Amino acid sequence: MVQQVLYRALVSTKWLAESIRSGRLGPNLRVLDASWYSPGTRQARREYQERHVPGASFFDIEECRDTASPYEMMLPSEAHFGDYVGRLGISNNTHVVVYDGDDLGSFYAPRVWWMFRVFGHRTVSVLNGGFRNWLKEGHPVTAEPSRPEPAVFKATLDRSLLKTYEQVLENLESKRFQLVDSRAQGRYLGTEPEPDAVGLGSGHIRGALNMPFMDFLTKDGFEKSPEELRAMFQAKKVDLSQPLIATCRKGVTACHIALAAYLCGKPDVAIYDGSWSEWFRRAPPETLVSQGKGGKA
C-alpha cells in the first residue's frame, strides 16, 4: 500500500459552518456546490441560485468535462480543468470543500474530489452529510452569488489514479488490479436497465466485483466509519493492500469507492473514467456479463 500523509477527505458541517462564521473563506478556502441531477428531475444550477452554502461557487460538471468525447462525463484536459477552477478562485494553495444537494447526502461530490486529486491537488475534502444535512442542522444559506477573484491553478495529471479502456482490457489477462463496480446490483447483474441511456445495456465487466456506492453511506447521508468501510471491503474479499480499479457507468459513483478506500488509508484507487458507458460500446462481447436482455452476453 502507498504510504503517505493523507489529507482529510471529509470535513464536518460543523467545521465548515465555523469556518464561515470566523471569516476563513477566501483564497485559502473555497467551497463548491457540485450538484448534478438527471435531465427532467431537479435543476442543479437553479437550486444553487435559490440557496447554497454562503460563499460557495457552482461547479458545473457539464462544463468541466471532455465535451468532444462520445462517452459520459470524461475528464477534461489539464488546461481546461486548470482554467475552469482558476475562474472559481482556486489556486494550488487552496483548500477545496465540495458538496452536493443529492437526497442521499452525497452523489457527485466524490467525483469532483477525485477530479482535483487526479489533477494533482491534494487539499480537497468532501462535506460529510452534504447539503441535505447542512439544511437539516439549520446552518445558514444564501442566494447571493459568489464572485471570487480569479486565481491560477496549474493542473498536472496523475496517471496513477486514472485507467483507460486499453489498460482495463489488458488487466483482464494480467489481473494486476482488482476491479470493483459501484452500480446498483440490478444494473451490475443486467437484470435492471441503465436509466436514461439509449442503446446502453446493463451488465458488468468480466471479473468485476459489485459494491453499490449507496452502501458506503448511512441512512442519514453520512459516510460510514473507516471500521465499517473496512469490514465491507473484507466481506467482498477486496484486498486494500493490493491495486484496485473502480468502475461504474460513467466514472462518477466509482469515486465513492476511491473515497471509501481513502478513508481506510488507501489513497491510490484508480478510476476507469470511461466505465460501462465506454466498455459496453467498445469491448469484445465475451468480456461483457449480463443476466438480462439488455446485455450482449
DSSP string, 9-23: SEE-HHHHHHHHHTT
pLDDT at 297: 39
DSSP character string of 233-245:
HHHTT--TTS-EE
Which pLDDT value is given to residue 6? 78
Torsion angle in degrees (nearest 10) through CA of 225, 273, 1, 12: -30
Rounded Cα–Cα distance for residues 43 and 57 (Å) = 16
Task: Decide: helix, strand or coil at residue 217.
Answer: strand
pLDDT at 296: 45
- Buried b / exposed e over 138-160, threshold 16 CB at 10 Å, is ebeeeeeebebeebebebeeeee
Please give the pLDDT value at position 155.
98
User: 96, 33 in Cβ contact below 8 A?
Assistant: no
- The yes-or-no answer on residue 248 being catalytic is yes
Task: Give 271's contacts (C-beta < 8 A, 6+ positions apart).
Answer: 114, 118, 161, 162, 163, 245, 246, 247, 251, 254, 255, 258
Q: Is 82 helix (H, G, I), strand (E, B) or coil?
A: helix
What's the pLDDT at 61? 96
Beta strand pairing call for 270-272 and 162-163: parallel
Residue of 64, 248, 255, 264 with catalytic role? 248
Q: What is the mean pLDDT of each run of 10 residues along the chain (297 residues)?
A: 67 97 93 95 97 98 95 95 98 98 98 98 98 98 96 98 98 98 97 88 97 98 98 98 98 98 97 97 96 57
Q: At what angle do helices 254-263 and 226-235 cross, to 10 degrees?
A: 120
